Each structure stands twice: as C-alpha cells, then as structure tokens.
Amino acid sequence: MSACCGGGHDSGHGHDHDLDDVYRKVLWVVFGVNAAMFCVEAVAGAIAGSVSLQADALDFLGDAANYLIALFVLGKAVTWRAGAALLKGAAMAVFGVYVLGYSAYMAMAGGVPEAPVMGIVGTMALAANLGSAVLLYRHRTGDANRQSVWLCSRNDAIANVAVIGAAGLVYLTHSNWPDLAVGFLMAALSLHSAWLVVRQATGELRRNRLRAHPAE
C-alpha cells in the first residue's frame, strides 16, 4: 500500500483504493512506453554499435517486465509485494552484472559507435523516461515494490543523460571509451539500486513474519 495508508477508517481505505486505481493506470502507460523504447533502442544500439544504447535497451525491457509485476501485486498482501520486489532486485542485479561483462568485452573488441544515432535515440529515451518519472513521482514512497518502480525510472533518466553526454564525447574524441564508461556507470547504478530494493524488501518480510509470529 502507499505511504498514506492509515488505520481502519472507511474514508482512508477509499482514498487508498482511489490512489491504487490511479497508480494502476500510470503503470500501464509507463509499461507501454518502456516496451516501445526497448524495440527502438535494441535496433538503434545494434546499428550504432553502442554498448550504452544496448544496455539501456535491456534496461527498458527489464523495466517493462517490472511494471507488469507491479500491476500483478498491486493491492495484494505485503508478502506478495515484498516478494515481487525481491524478484525485481535480483533482475536489476543480473542486469548490472551482464552490462559489466558486456562492457568489458567491447573494451577488448574495440570499435567506435555511431555518435549521431546515440545522441538522437538517447534524447528520445530521456524524454520517455522523464515522462515516466513525472507520472510515477507521486507514487515513489511506500513499500519496496513501489520504491523499486520509482528507482527504475529515476535510474533510466540518469542513464539517458549519460548516454547523450557520451554521444558528444564519442563525436569529439572518435573513441569508444565514453560509451564504455556509461555502460559501466549504468551497471554500477543498477547494482546499487538492486541492493537498496532487496534490503527494504527483506526488512518488510522480516517485520511481517515477526507480526505474524511474535513469539519467534
């Protein structure tokens, strides 16, 4: 439930239900945006030979899946929501490890990505993620599940700014190191966010278990 969830007053429960309805609509919108941008960036990243674009495409795919999970557990018991958050935290960690490995591979393989494609697609992705972040900002507090959804959108906006900056540096330096640096940055940010989400989710599961079995 959201942070404003209070006691057992009917008006409070009605208010929470209204917020959940709004949140559900927002999740469907950002799911559609992320699914579409995954397709755009996956193709553009392959064409441009860009690590950061391909990493961001995978992030869009992961976020689309995360939003579907969030829709599924919305309104369910805390164990469902915290369990979903644990799953998303694990997915974020896997994404981070994959991008680290892929960036290291591209560092050895060499090749300079197409800066104009990086800049144009990165700007499109930034607009999509800023719009998603604005829609989700009101719902950023609450349980680990909602926190993880907000962190995904926030991370994406930060990553897109970095991709655009990397495109400019690739154009100026004719080197692939700015693209690789952004890939490593995205991986580190994903791993840090995964740790935050898992920590909160495990705390919620622990507190819920203690409430259910206070003698243990």
- What CATH number does residue 24 fall under? 1.20.1510
Tens-place pLDDT, residues 38-65: 999 989 988 888 888 888 887 888 788 7
In a domain, 5, yes or no: no
In a domain, 4, yes or no: no
In a domain, 160, yes or no: yes
In a domain, 3, yes or no: no
Tens-place pLDDT, residues 176-209: 999 999 888 888 877 887 888 788 788 877 887 7
Residues 6+ apart with CB under 8 A from 120: none
Q: What is the mean predicted confidence (pLDDT) over 155-160?
A: 79
The neighbour count for residue 40, using CB atoms within 10 Å, is: 16
Count of structural domains, the chain: 1
Q: Is residue 105 scored above 80 in pLDDT? A: yes
In a domain, 131, yes or no: yes
Residues 6+ apart with CB under 8 A from 205: 78, 79, 82, 83, 86
In a domain, 64, yes or no: yes
Q: Apex CA 89: angle with CA 83 and CA 93, to 5°?
A: 145
**Would you say 116 and 53 are in contact if contact means Cβ atoms under 8 Å apart?**
no
In a domain, 2, yes or no: no
Q: List the domain range (segments joined by +) for residue 40.
A: 10-211
In a domain, 1, yes or no: no
Q: Is residue 125 scored above 90 in pLDDT? A: yes
